[in-house]
Amino acid sequence: MAVRHDSMSALIGTPPAVHSTLAYTRTSEVEDLPHATKKKMADHLRKLEAMFTITPQRMRMIVEAFKDTLEAGLQKPAQVVPMIPTYVFGWPTATETGEYLAVDLGGTNLRVCLVRLTGGGKFEITQSKYRLTEEQKQEDGQKLFDFCGECLKVFIDVNIENGEITKGKILPLGFTFSYPCSQDRIDHGELIRWTKGFGAPNTEGRDVVTMFRKSLALHGVPAEIVALTCDTTGTLIASHYVNPATKIACIFGTGCNAAYMERVGDIPKIAHLGIDPDAQIAINCEWGAFDSFEHEHLPRTKYDIMIDESSNKPGEQAFEKLISGRYLGEILRLVICQLIDEGTVFLGQNTYKIEIPYSFDTAFLSLMESDPTDELLMIIGIFTHFFALETTLAERQFFRALAKLVGRRAARLSACGIAAIVSKMGYLEEGCSVGADGSLYNKYPGFAERIHEGLQDIFGEKGRNVVTHHAEDGSGIGSAIVAAMTKIRKDAGLYPNL
């Protein structure tokens, strides 16, 4: 049983978060504004259903293409889906113990953790979060890591004061960096490309561990980076630590990714390293890049293409742009904007607020889908409070149905990715557990159920053998366990240069 302690939630150089409460002023129909008929809204919905619905046959075709892409990534480097060997060897034994630091540079926050592994699948964690500004995501990369070092120094100083950390002790650190990196050892990683909206210059092509070590030295931080990992690999290790049936881990949040354990002999691109072919090594798929550039397999709509072309990485991260939390709200907003341009919705109203790119948060879709109230009061609240727009009942019903279409497509495509690994590894007959984490999986109504529905559409009844569950904390607990496993391995002289 994990014991979790949340310590301070700190901000350095950033304003405090503002929490808003949805408000609405009326629940009746808007009789004094022109609006579309229910029939016209139904006609639009039918067209959108045809665009966003993925049949079981199409899903199976995507799975086959996905499997081929995964295999290509294992064969040789520099493939679209890079299939990165993480140099995390084998599964944890649940006998790992000790104190470890974990730092997670995520898509929204920087998280710093002190983890005590007590053995037997148990642990204690103390943590703090620091909000990242949009400016920090785009400014010079070394400044971004300097901010991380500054936050870690503050965290350690506070925990020395309260007795959680012994003064003068240098703690091993697991660094969770959830962006695609090429690794030739576990404490090294050259950033291939930024994802999740990051664009910090002078970082791509450089070793992020070297950059972070420089920042730790700048701030005099008593920590030694032992392992670089991503949140997905950490999730795989942490989930297996407490549930040994776990064979795959997935993240469905601001970004999307998967990790699993592969036999070294089935990874031709690392044959030259002389590792035992029967050894197991965790693979960080970075599957958000599936079908990038060529766009041959995924059913992209015109709205998806608009998002891609206006993004900071056109052509890249094709799979991620269809299913991740960063983009689902924007997909729905673009549909609404087209209906505004056609004179279908919000007639006679000022729509400038909703015409701002990315102003429609994916969290709104979640609220819209979960709204069980008469006349969909939550949707009234979203549109009046955030966009100063009045809605009719027909519009609200349409928006809720549209949110379901976008969310269901994301879940079914997510199922395709899981099915590709399950099929490739031969897990279907005996079944397997998939540790899943991220805001979409955890908070979006029905997302997990739709993944399971998708797996059954792909595999038939045997799809029930593949079960997802809420994963353990990969970027905190998992990163610490990876650091512990690495220290044990190197102390034993096993592949010490990896």
Active-site residues: which are they?
Answer: 178, 193, 231
Containing H/E element for 429?
none
Sign of the Cα torsion 416, 419, 423, 429 reads negative
CA dihedral 306, 310, 316, 321 (to 10 degrees): -50
C-alpha distances (whole Å) from 366 to each of 273, 325, 328, 401, 420 are 47, 10, 10, 12, 27
The per-type count for the chain, helices as H runs and strands as E runs, is: 15, 14
CA distance 204 to 193: 6
Return the number of other C-beta atoms located less than 10 Å from residue 50's C-beta.
9
Paired with 173 in beta bridges are: 101, 225
If you write DSSP's letter for every residue of 94-134 in order, what string do you get?
S--EEEEEEEEE-SSEEEEEEEEEEETTEEEEEEEEEEPPH
Return the number of other C-beta atoms located less than 10 Å from residue 184's C-beta.
13
Residue 426 burial by Cβ neighbours in a 10 Å radius (0-12, 13-18, 19+):
exposed
- Helices 393-425 and 38-52: crossing angle in degrees, nearest 10, is 10
CA distance 302 to 334: 10
Sign of the Cα torsion 220, 225, 231, 234 reads negative
Return the number of other C-beta atoms located less than 10 Å from residue 446's C-beta.
15
Q: Are residues 388 and 350 in contact, defined by beta-carbon separation less than 8 angstroms?
A: yes
C-alpha distances (whole Å) from 432 to each of 273, 278, 287, 414, 468 are 30, 21, 20, 16, 9
Determine the distance from the C-alpha atom of residue 294 to the mean position of all C-alpha atoms in its chain, rounded to a whole number: 23
